[in-house]
Structure formats: C-alpha cells, structure tokens
C-alpha cells in the first residue's frame, strides 16, 4: 500500500468522525430528554459513582439501586475508578442514552463541573450523592451528611469520655483528602469540638491520609513513635480503621474500653469494621451517615425535579453519633451493621 | 490467507468496523451522532499521548512517566494562570503562558528521562517508572492534592471545543507521521529500535536520537495536559492517573511493536479508535468498570500476542 494513499485514507476516516462528531456535540443542548416524562413510561436513572473502593460507597450504591428498583425505575450504572475524565465520559454516555435523571458521586468539588454542565445542557436533572460540587455556574441538588456537625458531635462525645477519666489526653487526628469537601468538614468538626477543651485534649499529631490506607498507616506509625503517649484518636473515615488498628497493635496500644491503656477511639461513617469494633468494645464513638436516608432523599429529589416541584439545593443528612450506649437501638439504621448479612 | 490478514495494515481498522457494526444493535445510542462526538472527544487526548509513546516504542523504549507529566504540567500551568491566586491571573498572556508552561514541563521531563537513559545506560522501564512516581508525587505535594479551578475561558476553549482539540490532535499526529516517514530522524528512530549497535556503527547518533524521542513523547504529554485541563476545567494532580494502560495499550493494539523497530502513527490512530470504541460501548451497555477493565486487559493481551505472532510469521527478530 503506497504511503500517500494510506495517509489520505486515514485522514479521511478521522475527518469523517470529526465532522460527524462536531455537528452533533454542539447541539446537545437542544435535545431535551428531561422535563416530565409521559405517564406510564418506565423511567431510567443513571447512577455514576466515582469509586466503589470503600464499603460506604458500596452500601450507598446498593441502597440507591434498591430504592430505584422499589419504585420500578431502570438503573444504568457507571463507576469511574477515581478518574474524573472517565466520569465525564460516563455522564455524557448517560446523556446519549437519554436517561431521565442522574445520581452522581463526583471525584471532588471541582473536576465534576463539566460533567454536571453536560447534564444541565441536556436538561437532565442531576443529584450529587454524599459529595457536593462547588456551585460555579451549574445546577444540581446535593444530598450530604452534615460532616462538620456530625464530626463535631462525635469528637465532643470523645472529649467527654476523656474528661471523665480526669487525665489529660494527647490527640491524633487522621484527615482525609483535603480536596474533598467532606474531609474538610470533618477536620473542621474535629477542630471545633476540641477547641476550648485544651485542658483535657491536646492535639499533638495530624496525619493526612488522602483517603489512602497505606498513607494512613505510615502516618499513624510515625506519629505514635514521635508521641508514644497518644491516647485519643479520631479518624475522618472508618474505612481507615484496619490500618490504624494495625499501627496501634504494633505499638501495644489497642486496648478495650475500660482498660487503663485504652486509646479513646472515634471515627466517621459507621461501616462494618467500626460496627465490629463497637461490638467488641474497642470503639468509643463513630458518626454514622444515614445511607438509607441519603439514598431515599436522592431518588425522591430526582422525582420531584422531574415533576417540576421545588427542591432545595442541599438536603442535609443529620446522621447520628453511635456510641456503646445507643448501639442496640440504632442498629437498624447503621448501615455497617447490615452490610455483611 | 491468515498471514496476509495478520500482516495487513488495516487489520485493526477492520476490527473497529466489525466491532462497531456488531455492537451497534446492542448498545443503545452507540451509533448516534451525539455518541460519535463523545467517542471523538474521548479519543483526542489519548491520540496525542499515544503519538509520543509510538515514537518511543519504535526505539524499543517505553515511557511510563507520561501520566505524571500530564498531572504535573496540568497543575503547574493551572497554578500560574488561575484567576484565584495565579501569577498571571487576569492577564492576556495567561493562556499562551499556560500552554507554554505545560509544553515546557513535558519537554523538560522528556529530556531528563532521555539523558538518564542514555547517559547511565539505564533501562527506560525503570527510569520512567521511577519518574512516574516522583513527578506524580511532586504534583500532589505541590498542590497539597487540591485541584485548581477558575482558569481563563480562552484556555478552557482548547479542551471544550471538539474541533479545536481535534485540530490540535490531528496536527500532532500528522507531525508524528511525517517525522517517521519523511525525515532522517524518523529512519534513525527505526534503526535504533531494530538494533542500536548496528545503528551506531552505521553512524546514527543513537543517544541523541533516543533523547529526542523522549523529548517528543514528553511534549506530546504536555499537549495532552493542555487538552485534558481545558476539558475538565481543572488542573489536577490526579488527571489521567489510571490511564497508563490505555496509552500503551492503544499503541500496542495498533501494532507498534514493544520490541522496537516497527510501528506507524496510522496504526496508533486505529489502536486509539479501537480502545475508545470498546470503552464507550461497554459503558453504554452499563457494564461495570471492573468488567470493562477485564475486557480491556484481555484485548491488550491479545494485541501483544498478535504482535508476537506477527514477528514469528515474518520469520524473524523484527
């Protein structure tokens, strides 16, 4: 095959695709598939999650799918594996498939904006589950735990436990990915709860985990070496507990509540590990996000938007602080207690 | 017959057509004009990075650092030109400066890779692998893992308008094609990939050729950083972190040999198209990401096996 002919054929293929593409991609905004669907037609909702790497997201994903199924709504799923570019492709694919609504967990507050805009342009209502985006110039409904208040409540309970011992405590906080508004809210909640209680709790170490088990473990090991007397630990997510517990065990500091060597432990999420630690008597408190409430609210918000009803921009999940005292009564609402069934 | 099919330039393009035709009835909206636009815009940055990778693979090298180049170039450029606290915030030079910075970072990292590989006779695999770790770590450290937003609209236009991004990608691919087919440097790249010793004896400046291939690869990654940052409207240290397999996979699927000495830009275009079609169609089928990864892994392995089969059929060391 002569080189020239080959090049020409290649260029023509590319140009053809280019032309076909340009012609249509700019006209997406005119094709409205949202609005109110005709009665009797089955609705389709696209569910796009950034990751399924923690139990929380799996539980959320399952809860949303169950909620949609209950209402006889067809589900299209997409997982972006922590890649915002892939997530944008997936949202565009939902638009192509003319879904009636989209529920999305974005990677962070900003990179998801083009994806939200793609849905906005196609007039498809979009709900952000558990993580919200910066408002910028896009429209969406956010359903989110009140990270700050819930973290504050959890840490306040821990401070109370510390005060009861009558001893001064040295605290370590494991933070999340600070590009994630949830991580920021939880850190701020921690700070707000310890503020004014410096007489009982002194923060000696802050470990940035970037939501990564290995980083969390390395950070906690280092902090425990530098400050062997740490006896108060809050993690911004329960999913980091396996690494944290292994670091505590290595330092000989993983002791049950009531033991003089007990490190006051608190977390956030209410996952299965936390539930087990709670049952085994190691964990003092965790701020539980009410996954079921968040899933119901997300689906309801989409339906309300489709019906043309007014929906607030942000729906808050108040969550609750799970402690040894309220474990039994809160079990049904704690997703971590129900995932392994 | 089998031999002819395997040796055909257009094997992958034919597979693309067959795949497209056979998936169209199953994946709803796959053949719609809107979706073709999605496929195209998804292909473009991949094509640009894969162009650079093709040049390096032809020299029997590999550049694993490209994703970290994209990340570092993206955040550095965005840090300088963003409207919140960038040094050039609001300046008319912000967009050209951003493009320049991203390209310069790509070229500089490519140069560094090339110099270490040739100067210390290190395997490209380990040099670029450690480069990937270092530069992506550096990008995260630089930004404290935060994304950078509020970039100038003229910069965003580069990634957002498919025609503009398409023209850029086409320019890069055609330049790569002409470089390989029409220039002395192109012939040297193949010669070095075939057998560096013979090339050296024949008077090819092997080290310089290798360094240039990594610089070109870095520059391509810099261009891709511009497109991706514009498209996602954000400078992020984790852009494209998980796309390395796609980049090398697309090049290898096209037919460029991992053993060096054989490859064409046109093949890479087909490889990129094929991988993008798979990604897009499986996504439309609502297959989970994990199944998509398994399918893609399988296809890339099949392409690598095909590469070996071709080498055997051609009766030689290639």
Contact A175, A210 (CB under 8 A): no
CATH, domain range A33-145+292-317: 3.40.50.2300
Better pLDDT: A293 or A179 = A293
What kind and span of H or E run contains A266?
A: strand A264-269
Query: In chain A, which residues have their Cβ closer than 8 Å to the Cβ of B177?
Result: 7
Q: Distance between CA atoms of A321 and A150, rounded to whole angstroms?
A: 7
Contact A225, A40 (CB under 8 A): no
Q: What is the pLDDT of residues B111-148, one digit of tens each?
A: 999 999 999 999 999 999 999 999 999 998 898 777 88
Q: Is the pLDDT of residue B7 over 80?
A: no
- Tell me the pLDDT band of A5, cut-offs 50, 70 and 90: low
The whole-number average pLDDT for the span B90-119 is: 96
The whole-number average pLDDT for the span A217-228 is: 94
CATH architecture of A147-289+322-337: 3-Layer(aba) Sandwich (3.40)
Q: Delineate the domains of chain B, giving CATH numbers in brackets.
A: 10-23+33-311 (1.10.3470)
Contact A110 B149 (CB under 8 A): yes
Q: What angle do CA A71, A75, A81 make, to 5 degrees?
A: 135
Q: What is the pLDDT of residues A253-312, one digit of tens each?
A: 999 999 999 999 999 999 999 999 999 999 999 999 999 999 999 999 999 999 999 999
The whole-number pLDDT of residue A340 equals: 62
Which of A96, A114, A116, A178 has the highest number of chain B CBs within 10 A, making it the mutation to test binding with B? Answer: A96
Contact A97 B288 (CB under 8 A): no
Q: What is the pLDDT of residues B187-196, one digit of tens each?
A: 999 999 999 9
Contact B233 A98 (CB under 8 A): no
Q: What is the pLDDT of residues B226-254, one digit of tens each?
A: 999 999 889 988 888 888 989 999 999 89
The whole-number pLDDT of residue B303 equals: 79
Contact B35 A96 (CB under 8 A): yes
The whole-number pLDDT of residue B310 equals: 77
Q: Is the pLDDT of residue B149 over 90?
A: no
Q: Is the pLDDT of residue A337 over 80?
A: yes
Which of B7, B38, B179 has the highest number of chain A CBs within 10 A, making it the mutation to test binding with A? Answer: B38
Q: Distance between CA atoms of A138 and B149, rounded to whole angstroms?
A: 14
The whole-number pLDDT of residue A38 equals: 54
- Tell me the pLDDT band of A19, cut-offs 50, 70 and 90: very low
Q: Is the pLDDT of residue A3 over 60?
A: no
Strands in A32-116 per DSSP E: 44-49, 74-79, 101-104
Query: In chain A, which residues have their Cβ closer than 8 Å to the Cβ of B34?
Result: 24-25, 27-28, 31, 95-96
CA of A22 vs chain B CAs: smallest distance (Å): 6
CA of A286 vs chain B CAs: smallest distance (Å): 26
The whole-number pLDDT of residue B133 equals: 93
Contact A111 B234 (CB under 8 A): yes
Give the start-to-end residue ranges of the domains of chain A. 33-145+292-317, 147-289+322-337
The whole-number average pLDDT for the span A105-122 is: 91
- Tell me the pLDDT band of B315, cut-offs 50, 70 and 90: low
Instruction: Share the mean pLDDT of chain A.
Output: 87
Q: Write b or e for each residue in A202-219: b if 16 or more Cβ atoms lie within 10 A of its Cβ, otherwise e.
A: ebbbebbbbbebebbbeb
Contact B236, B167 (CB under 8 A): no
Better pLDDT: B130 or A178 = B130
The whole-number pLDDT of residue B44 equals: 95
ipTM value for the complex = 0.79
Alpha carbon distances (Å) from A137 to A48, A113, A187, A188, B2: 21, 9, 27, 26, 56
């Amino acid at each position: 095959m002569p080189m020239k002919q080959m090049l020409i054929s290649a260029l023509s293929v590319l140009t053809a695709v280019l032309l076909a593409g340009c012609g249509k991609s700019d006209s997406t905004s005119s094709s409205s598939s949202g609005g109110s669907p005709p009665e009797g037609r089955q609705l389709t909702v696209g569910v796009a999650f950034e990751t399924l790497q923690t139990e929380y997201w799996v539980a959320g994903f399952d809860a949303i799918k169950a909620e949609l199924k209950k209402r006889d709504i067809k589900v299209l799923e997409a997982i972006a594996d922590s890649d915002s570019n892939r997530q944008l492709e997936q949202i565009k694919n939902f638009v192509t498939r003319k879904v009636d609504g989209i529920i999305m967990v974005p990677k962070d507050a900003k990179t998801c904006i083009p994806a939200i805009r793609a849905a906005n342009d196609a007039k498809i209502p979009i709900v952000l589950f558990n993580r919200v985006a910066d408002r910028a110039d896009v429209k969406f409904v956010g359903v989110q735990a009140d990270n700050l208040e819930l973290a504050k409540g959890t840490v306040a309970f821990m401070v109370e436990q510390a005060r009861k011992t009558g001893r001064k405590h040295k605290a370590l906080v494991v933070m999340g990915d600070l590009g994630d508004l949830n991580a920021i809210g939880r850190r701020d909640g921690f700070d707000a709860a310890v503020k004014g209680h410096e007489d009982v709790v002194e923060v000696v170490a802050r470990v940035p985990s970037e939501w990564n088990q290995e980083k969390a473990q390395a950070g906690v090991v280092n902090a425990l070496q530098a400050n062997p007397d740490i006896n108060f630990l809050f993690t911004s997510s329960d999913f980091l507990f396996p690494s944290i517990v292994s670091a505590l065990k290595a330092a000989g500091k993983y002791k049950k509540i009531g033991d003089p060597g007990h490190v006051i432990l608190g977390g956030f999420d209410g996952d299965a590990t936390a539930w087990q630690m709670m049952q085994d008597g190691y964990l003092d408190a965790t701020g539980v996000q009410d996954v079921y409430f968040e899933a119901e609210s997300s689906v309801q918000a989409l339906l309300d938007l489709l019906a043309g009803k007014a929906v607030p921009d942000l729906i808050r999940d108040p969550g609750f602080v799970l402690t040894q005292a309220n474990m039994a009564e809160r079990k049904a609402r704690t997703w971590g207690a129900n995932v392994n069934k | 017959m089998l031999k002819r099919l395997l040796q055909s330039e257009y094997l992958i393009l034919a597979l693309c057509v067959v795949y497209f035709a056979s998936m169209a009835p199953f994946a709803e909206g796959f053949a719609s004009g809107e979706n073709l636009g999605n496929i195209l815009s998804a292909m473009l940055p991949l094509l640009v990075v894969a162009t650079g990778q093709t040049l390096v693979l032809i020299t029997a090298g590999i550049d694993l650092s490209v994703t970290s180049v994209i990340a570092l170039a993206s955040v550095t450029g965005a840090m300088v030109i963003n409207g919140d606290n960038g040094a050039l915030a609001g300046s008319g030079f912000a967009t050209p400066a951003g493009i320049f910075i991203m390209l310069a970072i790509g070229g500089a990292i490519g140069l560094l890779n090339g110099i270490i590989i040739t100067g210390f006779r290190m395997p490209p695999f380990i040099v670029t692998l450690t480069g990937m770790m270092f530069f992506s770590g550096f990008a995260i450290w630089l930004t404290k893992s935060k994304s950078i937003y509020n970039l100038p609209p003229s910069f965003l236009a580069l990634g957002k308008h498919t025609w503009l991004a398409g023209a850029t990608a086409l320019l890069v691919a055609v330049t790569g094609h002409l470089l390989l087919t029409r220039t002395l440097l192109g012939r040297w790249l193949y010669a070095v990939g075939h057998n560096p010793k013979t090339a050296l004896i024949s008077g090819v400046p092997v080290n310089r050729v290798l360094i240039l291939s990594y610089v070109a690869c870095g520059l391509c990654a810099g261009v891709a950083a511009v497109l991706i940052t514009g498209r996602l409207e954000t400078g992020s240290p984790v852009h494209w972190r998980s796309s390395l397999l796609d980049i090398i996979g697309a090049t290898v699927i096209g037919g460029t040999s991992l053993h060096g000495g054989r490859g064409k830009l046109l093949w890479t275009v087909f490889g990129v198209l094929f991988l993008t079609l798979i990604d897009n169609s499986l996504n439309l089928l609502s297959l989970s990401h994990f199944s998509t990864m398994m399918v893609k892994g399988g296809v890339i392995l099949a392409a690598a096996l095909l590469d070996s089969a071709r080498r055997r059929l051609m009766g030689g060391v290639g």
